[in-house]
Amino acid sequence: MLDTSEENRRRHSLDPHQPVWLFGYGSLIYKADFPYLERQPAYISGWARRFWQGSHDHRGTPDQPGRVVTLIETPGHRCDGMAYRITPNVFEHLDHREKNGYLRLRQTLTFNDGHTTDGLVYIASEDNAAFLGPADEADIARHIAGSHGPSGSNRDYLVQLAEALRAIDAHDEHVFNLERHLQEMNR
């Protein structure tokens, strides 16, 4: 397993007295297990959410990784999620939580009122050791249905993400297709 927590600490020198915006597009939308000063829906442009990252530490195991989301650079796409204004000390927890291949990158966040701000987002690029890459959506759904790790079932991760996206009135064809495939497996 690749642990990126040290690399993330080196990447960004943050003023401990200046809050930072963090963009969440996966479990960070529905599982805010960290303190935040403010939270509101936002999106980033030019990125698509995909279940292409392996999870060896949360929704799978080192021998049988689950699949979780990462962002793939995709011109013309919009990825909806949740923005949190946090104090920099919160990154100690987040860097550990997102350590399996995710690196913090700077992105422009756009809020529903059109206001933009600079923020950080965790992205697992295709050159990280846990990257699983694209596959047929039915195959991805079967993989998710059979994966489980210390944070619970991979199925729950997908279902909770789909529900969280609906709650913020966001549409994501990839996530909703995978959810539909899961539902069809249960019939």
Known catalytic residues?
Answer: 98
Determine the 3-state secondary structure of 68 from DSSP: strand
Question: Cα–Cα distance between 110 and 16 in angstroms, integer?
Answer: 24
Question: Cα–Cα distance between 91 and 44 in angstroms, integer?
Answer: 20
**Residue whose tokens read 């030019």:** 46
Strand ranges (DSSP E) for the chain?
A: 20-24, 38-55, 66-86, 103-111, 116-123, 148-149, 152-153
130 contacts 1 by C-beta, under 8 angstroms: yes
**Residue 160: exposed, middle, or buried by beta-carbon count in 10 A (0-12, 13-18, 19+)?**
middle
Those residues with Cβ within 8 angstroms of residue 187's Cβ, 6 or more apart along the chain or in another chain: none
Tally of CA atoms within 13 A in the half-sphere of 184 that contains its CB? 11
